[in-house]
């Protein structure tokens, strides 16, 4: 399907959107499967990405050229995503509006390389973006791919799959790697409407007649920011919640070869590890149990979050690491890495590991994350002459409303609520006042979708003098974020 035909499909669905920098007819060697070539999900009633009520919303999946590579594109008008089957099935872009959240090596644009035939020909081509590797790394032997293996740099197949529910989706599949890892990898990426969320599901399948054991190792490259002279700006950071019951003193540990600690520090009274890009090679590990990790481009004021499930008591590679962060001393990038438990696979068996990505306009630090928002400044409550004042700073993951209400000891709303329209493209700075009503013990901050339906509670705050009642309502804490359900 040519681009003009694909655009006709988009216009018919109510969304004329062509990703910047892309276009033209797919040509040259391509592992992209040709049917179907485009899909569009009509979101029906509701608002467009710009927030206009009553307009139809579409999530689109298209085949288009990407810097000389055949590629698959997903977009919902809020975020967009580009995957390239020809370079290990990588996701090369995840963008909030026109702002890129992943690092891509522009020197490798459009390049394809034949498999190496000797040890001398083995060279890792660092394309950037997102991929998964088998862990432990020492058992795999890459990157670059060991001889006879093409999981990282080989040509995968890719296809647009039929919409599921409110999401458009693509699927990428590696070739079978029977001789080295025993794996075939399937990557499924789904983009729902009206959100920045991207759902990524990785599946390892044993294609051999022997039993194998692997962890799914997610590796996402993000920008390590430098100035015109190549000096790090200190504006690229990763935040990892630390496990208070960690096996490691301080909650994290470094690779054995590393002695530099300048780029690592704990913040928020030891609750978080902050990794700041200093253009120093290093690797840090954490047995984090919170199920999230966040990268912040503080120059652009952009935050990229991953949420995932951590299995208590499961065996993880690298001495029990669930999250790892690599910093490059050469090309300016960092790697935000998440791992699944080690899993034994009988011949023909499969296992999967899923995570969700989110994007929002928010500066560092990221102190807490829920499925609705990332928190930079925790909400606080004070009593003023005018009533109750709520302050805080956060970034939301979907357009909608924040609703602030007072509640009595039984949880019933009292008084009039304050509402605030919010979007992932704008940082939410809370400075709202509501009337102080007799009998009110708590203030709830809730996230609503664009239709006004409640999604969940962001925080519950105790009105001074009512901390015990607020603690009971919040499940043990007078000021808390909504629980992370992984």
Strand partners, 243: none
- 365 token code pair: 């630090």
Report if residue 398 sits inside a domain.
yes
CATH number of the CATH domain containing 464: 2.60.40.10
Tokens of 424: 């992932």
Task: State how far the Cα of 138 lies from the Cα of 218, in Å rounded to an integer.
Answer: 16
Phi, psi of 319 (to 5 degrees): 65, 30
Measured distance CA(309)–CA(486) in Å, rounded: 4
pLDDT of residue 349: 98
| β-strands 368-369, 198-206 pairing | unpaired
The verdict on residue 223 lying in a domain is no
**Residue 169 falls inside a structural domain:** no
What's the domain range around 415?
Answer: 373-481
Contacts of 58 (CB under 8 A, 6+ apart): 10, 13, 14, 15, 40, 41, 42, 43, 76, 77, 193
Establish whether the linkage from the previous residue to 144 is cis, with ω within 30° of 0. Answer: yes
Burial class from Cβ neighbours inside 10 Å (0-12, 13-18, 19+) for residue 277 reads buried
Q: Is 168 part of a structural domain of the chain?
A: no
User: Is residue 274 within a helix (H) or strand (E), and if so which, with residue range?
Assistant: strand 272-276
Closest CA to 263 of 243, 235, 230: 235
Which residues in the chain show pLDDT less than 50?
Answer: 1-31, 34-36, 41-56, 469-470, 476-486
Cβ neighbour number for residue 125 with a 10 Å cutoff? 16
Output b/e per residue, 154-181; b: 16+ Cβ within 10 A.
bbbbbbbbebeebbbbbbbbbbbbbebb
pTM for this entry: 0.87
From CA 260, how far away is CA 232, in angstroms rounded? 15
**Within-domain flag for 465:** yes
Tokens for 401, please give them: 């409303």
For 151, residues 6+ apart whose C-beta sits below 8 A from its C-beta are 88, 133, 134, 142, 145, 174, 177, 181, 183, 185
Domain contains 281: no
Identify whether 319 is part of a domain.
Answer: no
Q: Is residue 409 part of a domain?
A: yes
Residues 6+ apart with CB under 8 A from 397: 195, 196, 197, 305, 358, 359, 360, 371, 372, 373, 374, 424
The whole-angstrom separation of Cα 207 and Cα 223 is 35
How many angstroms separate the Cα of 395 from the Cα of each of 27, 103, 409?
A: 40, 22, 29
Q: What is the pLDDT of residues 378-388, one digit of tens each?
A: 999 999 988 99
Structural domain count, the chain: 1
Q: 344-354 pLDDT, tens per residue?
A: 999 999 999 99
Picking from 338, 381, 295, the residue whose alpha carbon sits closest to that of residue 133 is 338
- The distance of Cα 1 from the centroid of its chain, to the nearest Å, equals 31
């Amino acid at each position: 399907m040519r681009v003009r035909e694909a655009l006709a499909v988009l216009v018919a669905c109510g969304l004329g959107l062509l990703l910047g920098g892309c276009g033209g007819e797919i040509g040259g060697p391509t592992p992209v499967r040709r049917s179907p070539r485009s899909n569009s999900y009509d979101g029906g009633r509701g608002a467009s990405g710009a927030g206009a009520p009553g307009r139809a919303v579409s999530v689109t999946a298209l085949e288009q050229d990407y810097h000389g590579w055949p590629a698959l594109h997903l977009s919902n008008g809020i975020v967009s995503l580009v995957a390239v089957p020809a370079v290990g099935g990588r996701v090369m872009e995840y963008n909030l509006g026109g702002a890129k959240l992943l690092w891509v090596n522009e020197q490798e644009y459009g390049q394809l390389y034949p498999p190496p035939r000797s040890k001398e020909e083995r060279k890792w081509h660092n394309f950037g973006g997102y991929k998964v590797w088998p862990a432990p790394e020492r058992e795999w032997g890459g990157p670059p791919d060991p001889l006879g293996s093409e999981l990282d740099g080989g040509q995968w197949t890719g296809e647009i799959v039929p919409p599921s529910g409110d999401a458009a989706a693509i699927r990428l599949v590696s070739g079978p790697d029977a001789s080295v890892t025993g794996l075939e990898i399937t990557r499924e990426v789904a983009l729902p409407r009206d959100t920045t969320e991207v759902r990524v599901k990785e599946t390892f399948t044993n294609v051999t007649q022997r039993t194998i054991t692997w962890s799914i190792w997610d590796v996402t490259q993000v920008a390590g920011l430098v100035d015109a002279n190549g000096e790090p700006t200190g504006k690229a950071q990763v935040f990892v919640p630390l496990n208070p019951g960690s096996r490691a003193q301080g909650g994290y540990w470094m690779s054995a070869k590393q002695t530099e600690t300048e780029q690592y520090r704990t913040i928020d009274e030891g609750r978080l590890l902050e990794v700041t890009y200093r253009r120093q090679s290093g690797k840090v590990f954490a047995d984090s149990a919170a199920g999230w990790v966040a990268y912040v481009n503080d120059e652009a004021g952009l935050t990229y979050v991953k949420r995932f499930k951590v299995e208590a008591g499961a065996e993880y590679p690298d001495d029990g690491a669930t999250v790892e962060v690599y910093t490059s001393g050469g090309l300016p990038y960092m790697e935000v890495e998440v791992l699944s438990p080690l899993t034994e696979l009988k011949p023909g068996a499969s296992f999967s590991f899923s995570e969700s990505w989110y994007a929002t306009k928010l500066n560092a630090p990221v102190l807490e994350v829920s499925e609705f928002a990332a928190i930079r400044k925790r909400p606080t409550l004070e009593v003023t002459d005018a009533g109750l004042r709520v302050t805080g700073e956060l970034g939301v993951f979907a357009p909608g409303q924040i609703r602030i209400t007072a509640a009595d000891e039984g949880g019933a709303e009292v008084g009039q609520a304050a509402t605030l329209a919010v979007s992932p493209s704008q940082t939410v700075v809370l400075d709202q006042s509501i009337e102080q009503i007799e009998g009110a013990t708590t203030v709830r901050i809730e996230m609503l979708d664009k239709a006004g339906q409640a999604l969940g509670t962001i925080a519950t705050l105790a009105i001074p003098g009512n901390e015990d009642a607020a603690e009971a309502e919040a499940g043990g804490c007078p000021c808390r974020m909504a629980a992370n359900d992984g």
